[in-house]
Structure 1
Amino acid sequence: MTAASIYRRRTLALLTALIAGSVMQVAGAADADKKEIRFGATAGPYADQVRLGIKPILEQRGYKVTIIEFSDYVQPNLALADGAIDANAFQHEVYLKKFSADRKLQLSEVVKVPTAPIGIYSRKHKSLQDVKPGATVSLPNDPTNLARAIAILQQVGWVTLKPGTDAVRASERDIDGNPHKLKLVQLEAAQLPRSLDDVDFAFVNGNFALASGLSLTSALKLEAIPDYYMNLVAVRTTDVNRPFVADIRDAYRSSEFKAVTQQRFAGFNPPAYQR
């Protein structure tokens, strides 16, 4: 190999390194310059948490925050994966993991958020003791929230489950005792508040209860939420380490947001960092 060819190779290697470094610098600058966040949330308390508590903090840091509201539990993750939004707040980790696995999406948790519990509501009865044989009970039909409702059914003594049942995956097939012969009606979670005129008791997710005008304190029973059912903020996995995601996490963990939670979201289960 001649000295000239060695020189050419070294020059080419140096130029390649310089170009790669320039590309990385440009990408880093573009990442740092991202100042618009499209935040998806289900209509009701989780959109309100962003609007009242998170958006003002992020705006102080120079971001423009647009809140996009959804009315179901499917579209927010699809919109996130497609890049239509940058973050969402509406789901717990069990749902996120199952939905991501089923749809082959790369989504990750950022931070837990104050969470409204599932409650048992009724317009026909004033107490759980009023349950009669053959009473109708509406439940959410998505697998993870159905499992939550069945766990509460077991806690109040309305059903018993087969030995060894996994509480996170429980379904009607796992019920081996139904002493009141309850008629269990599965509905889309957003429709559960509307079912109150037609059923004896309804299990309603907290966000949809509040969005429909129900108060958490009017529930006949509220769920004691385990950590894996606490709602969270999710982003695309490729974005987890980006500065705007760190700023979202810091906003939720701030003392300013804790004050908003205490003033405006009474009855919500607080995440560990607010306890």
Structure 2
Amino acid sequence: MKKFLVLSLMSLLSITPAMSATAEKVIGATVGDFADLSRESLKPLLEKKGYKIRIVEFTDYVQPNIALAEGSLDLNIFQHRPYLEQFAREKGLDLRPIAEVPTAPLGIYAGKLKSLAAVKDGSTVAMPNDPTNLARALLLLADLNWISLPKKIDPFKVSPLDIVKNPKNLKIVQLEAAQIPRSLQDVDYAIINGNYVVSSGMSLTSKLAPEKSNAYINWAVVRSKDAQSDFAKAVIEALNSKEFQAYAKNKFKGYKYPSTWK
């Protein structure tokens, strides 16, 4: 009997790591490129390491962070660092970015007017209504010399109230970022986040002009308490692996790639 008990305990100990390794991990990503890279490459790479992965898709920028903080997700991929920091501060969330991911740049796209040269007095420009991406959009308009902003300003907190000159009398239409591609027939121009360009079936190469800043590359994010977990380390390794880099450079041409890639 003692021999049987010892063998049984040894058997249980031998399967415990495998059981823990196969505990399901849930990754949340916005529809389009981030959901694609999560499903097509990150998931298989993590499953090779023994993790069971489920992908959940979101159509907005609010719920993925709430779900992560509440424990419904173990990781999310959809946001740049300025947005994360502002959102976490406003909502009191303890989240941390752990690895950069390929990012489609924000740009201005043709609506009813098909070129930048066609801009006219009173032209309408749709742009994201969340504060960080709204600031990015306004900076893009300033780069085009369509508006003027103060020389000294926090680039992450620019709002329409900061516009000091608007010689073309542009009318700014603020919309939920995911809805902007559907607004193209109603406005003259639209400033769209790259992932929503892709998910709507548009081409990144059709943009009339890109943003100049490199500050808005996107990140994989976890709860701060899990930043040193085995799963977080596995995610970092996978997102910087040669396999993932090869996949991303083939799949996401024209994107901004992580600074950690060589």
The alpha carbon displacement at 1:32 in A equals 5.9
Q: Distance in 1 between matches of 2:19 and 2:87?
A: 28
Q: Distance in 2 between matches of 1:94 and 1:34?
A: 34
The percent of aligned pairs where both chains have the same amino acid is: 47
**Structure 2 equivalent of residue 233 of structure 1:** 220
Q: Does 1:122 align with 2:110?
A: yes
Once structures 1 and 2 are overlaid, which stretch shifts more, 157-166 or 130-139? Answer: 157-166
**Structure 1 equivalent of residue 235 of structure 2:** 248
The alpha carbon displacement at 1:30 in A equals 10
Q: What is the identity, as a one-letter code, of the residue corresponding to 2:100?
A: K
The alpha carbon displacement at 1:125 in A equals 2.7
Q: Does 1:263 align with 2:257?
A: no
The alpha carbon displacement at 1:29 in A equals 6.7
**Structure 2 equivalent of residue 274 of structure 1:** 261
Q: Distance in 1 between matches of 2:260 and 2:227?
A: 19
Q: Distance in 1 between matches of 2:172 and 2:154?
A: 20
The alpha carbon displacement at 1:118 in A equals 0.7
> How many residues matched?
247
The structure where helix makes up a greater share of residues is: 1
**Structure 1 equivalent of residue 162 of structure 2:** 174
Runs of 4+ in structure 1 off by over 4 angstroms are 28-32
Higher Rg of the two aligned structures: 1
Q: Distance in 1 between matches of 2:127 and 2:53?
A: 34
Q: What is the identity, as a one-letter code, of the residue corresponding to 2:249?
A: Q
Give 5+ residue unaligned stretches, structure 2: 1-15
Q: Distance in 2 between matches of 1:35 and 1:62?
A: 9
2:260 match: secondary structure: helix
Give 5+ residue unaligned stretches, structure 1: 1-27
**Structure 1 equivalent of residue 9 of structure 2:** none
Q: Distance in 2 between matches of 1:94 and 1:40?
A: 19
Q: What is the identity, as a one-letter code, of the residue corresponding to 2:240?
A: R
Q: Distance in 2 between matches of 1:159 and 1:29?
A: 59
Conserved 8 A contact 1:32-1:243: no
Residue 127 of structure 2, aligned match among 117, 123, 139: 139
**Structure 2 equivalent of residue 56 of structure 1:** 44
**Structure 1 equivalent of residue 75 of structure 2:** 87
Conserved 8 A contact 1:209-1:215: yes
Q: Does 1:215 align with 2:238?
A: no
